[in-house]
Structure 1
Amino acid sequence: MSAFLSGRTALVTGASSGIGWETARLLAEQGATVIVHARTAEEGEQAVERLVARGAAREQLRTIAADFTRLSAVEQLADSVARTAPVLHLLVNNAAVMAPERCTLTDDGVEVSFQVNFLAAHLLAKRLQGQLAAAGDARIVNVSSSLHRTASMNWSDPNRTKKYSRVAAYAQSQLALSMAAGSMAPEGSGITSVSVNPGLCDTALLPLYGRVGAPPAEGAAAVVRLCLPTVAPANGEYYDGGDIAPTAVAVHEERSQRRLAKLADLLTTAQA
């Protein structure tokens, strides 16, 4: 197999299991040095051991731990990556949690799925912009969901404390992630940022969908395809099945994008 990503460094969030772990495996298989993010150091080390057991070279793998329910931990992760990887070629924002049955706020005062699934990705893309720009042709791939098309942004109550639904909260987090993709790659930065639906896979998020899922490796293949230099994705677009796919209207609404950026900056600046 050709090592299309030899000499490139990738950060994959939520890489201790599921689609994230399979993405790390495939990126390493393509020659990339992979920074494997997990919630805890123990989970990260276990993920690396499994990757090595599946044939990845240990010298290609690094671990980094951060609990995304704390924005300060996201900041610390970004600082650590910036110090150790002055040039970052790939950022895969894959970390995600299922919204719980009851509205749950983090210590930062943000609904947990909105923070982990969107705000952390927003913050990482912003803090690592210099390292990504240094690559000259960096990619940011945001792992989203087809559920974003059912969502709406609750601008007056983004935490949805007044009328909470776990599906609505999760879908809103994925809508925000897809909306923010384009703004993660400022014009002239050399960065391309997209969102992708990995398909319905058998992961911890499957109960939200209530159906049988495909192996996580299939979802990871859709993610990794957008990381390869042989593919030229269009900035800010949403992909499904290898092609640009229809989105919620808000994804490409400039006013909504600006409003989201302002909200994200407010929440991360005030709390981090």
Structure 2
Amino acid sequence: MEWTERDVPEQRGRVAVVTGANTGLGFETARVLAERGASVVLAVRDTEKGKQAAARMIGDVTVQALDLTSLDSVRAAAAALRDRHRRIDLLINNAGVMYTPKQTTRDGFELQFGTNHLGHFALTGLLLDLLLPVPGSRVVTVSSTGHRIRAAIHFDDLQWERSYSRVGAYGQSKLANLMFTYELQRRLAAHGSTVAVAAHPGMSNTELARNTPAIVRTPLTWLAPAITQKAPMGALPTLRAATDPAVLGGQYYGPGGRTEVKGHPRLVTSSPQSYDAATQHRLWTTSEELTGIKFPI
């Protein structure tokens, strides 16, 4: 049976924080959660765009400034959310950048690794104690099939200072998203009912692909109708990971079609290296050192 947004259960009384929710996959994820009754926080870098997005949604939707390229902004956003909410049921780490030219965050991290992984790692650590007491709470982190492409955790050069590959840096960040999820779930297992789950959208037609090199982007433009899906479909794996009562901690959801490019969401598997527990643990320790954030577990 195909899982659709109609299968999202009632969310009334729940609080959901969705990063990067002013457009694309994040917008669609937040829209459905709000329509199902959740109090949804759009955690976005551009608050004006966030307010415009909120105005297009039905339900209880607020906007919180969050710039994942700045640990100061992450701390400020977490403090504001803690002031406003006694609990969080869903933290959806959706925001991301892809294939960017070589740049660094305000803290000096390679932009893709700093935004996609370290920013979300820090945010989760700062908010986790608001989720731990909440029955059925979940941390959902959005990865990508890109975690399989030229991907490794380059502990000898995490910030790509010696050389730079747009594709390799993106692959590292998305592999890190999965390793973070699996290590987080291992640590959560002894702490109540909070679980960590991952998802990926397949190939979705969103603004995320704007930095794709022209040599790749040009043929994709012609092929897009056949090999990509629109944002509402791309958001379904995240929504299933966040709301399906049958979901278990440490699982990974993606499109059910051939090669996971498109289709209705189902349980999928990630690359063999993503399950390496020693690398997961090392990445966790390194991430704590880089961000200065210690988790309450």
TM-score by length of 2: 0.83
Give the one of 251, 263, 268 matched to 2:286.
263
Larger mean Cα displacement after TM superposition, 11-20 or 35-44:
35-44
Q: Give the structure 2 partner of residue 187 of structure 1.
A: 189
Q: Report if aligned partners of 2:240, 2:253 keep a CA contact under 8 Å in 1.
A: no
* Residue 229 (structure 2) pairs with residue 214 (structure 1): yes
Q: Report if aligned partners of 2:137, 2:195 keep a CA contact under 8 Å in 1.
A: yes
SS at match of 2:113: helix
Q: Give the structure 1 partner of residue 166 of structure 2.
A: 166
Q: Give the structure 2 partner of residue 112 of structure 1.
A: 111
2:23 maps to amino acid = S
Larger mean Cα displacement after TM superposition, 147-156 or 180-189:
180-189
Q: Give the structure 2 partner of residue 235 of structure 1.
A: 249
Matches within 5 A, 1:17-32: 17-32=23-38
The runs of 5 or more residues in structure 1 that have no matched partner are none
CA distance in 2, matches of 1:227, 1:6: 14
CA RMSD of aligned residues (A): 1.7
Larger mean Cα displacement after TM superposition, 144-153 or 181-190:
181-190
Q: Give the structure 1 partner of residue 130 of structure 2.
A: 131
Q: Shift in Å at residue 258 of structure 1?
A: 0.7
Q: Report if aligned partners of 2:68, 2:120 keep a CA contact under 8 Å in 1.
A: no
Deviations 1:237-267 (A, max 9, x none): 3222333323222321110011100111111
1:34 maps to amino acid = V
Deviations 1:199-221 (A, max 9, x none): 11111223537432311011112
Matches within 5 A, 1:1-272: 4-51=10-57, 56-57=58-59, 60-101=60-101, 103-150=102-149, 151-185=151-185, 186-189=188-191, 190-207=193-210, 208=212, 210=217, 211=220, 212=224, 213-228=228-243, 230-241=244-255, 242-269=265-292
CA distance in 2, matches of 1:262, 1:75: 19
CA distance in 2, matches of 1:63, 1:205: 21
SS at match of 1:134: coil
Q: Report if aligned partners of 1:35, 1:64 keep a CA contact under 8 Å in 2.
A: yes
Deviations 1:178-209 (A, max 9, x none): 11003334223221111111111111223537
Q: How many residues align?
A: 262
CA distance in 2, matches of 1:126, 1:34: 20
CA distance in 2, matches of 1:49, 1:4: 21
1:33 maps to amino acid = S
Q: Report if aligned partners of 1:9, 1:87 keep a CA contact under 8 Å in 2.
A: yes
Identity, % of aligned positions: 32
Q: Report if aligned partners of 2:16, 2:89 keep a CA contact under 8 Å in 1.
A: yes
Q: Shift in Å at residue 33 of structure 1?
A: 0.7
CA distance in 2, matches of 1:129, 1:188: 14
CA distance in 2, matches of 1:142, 1:49: 25
SS at match of 1:147: helix
CA distance in 1, matches of 2:272, 2:155: 16
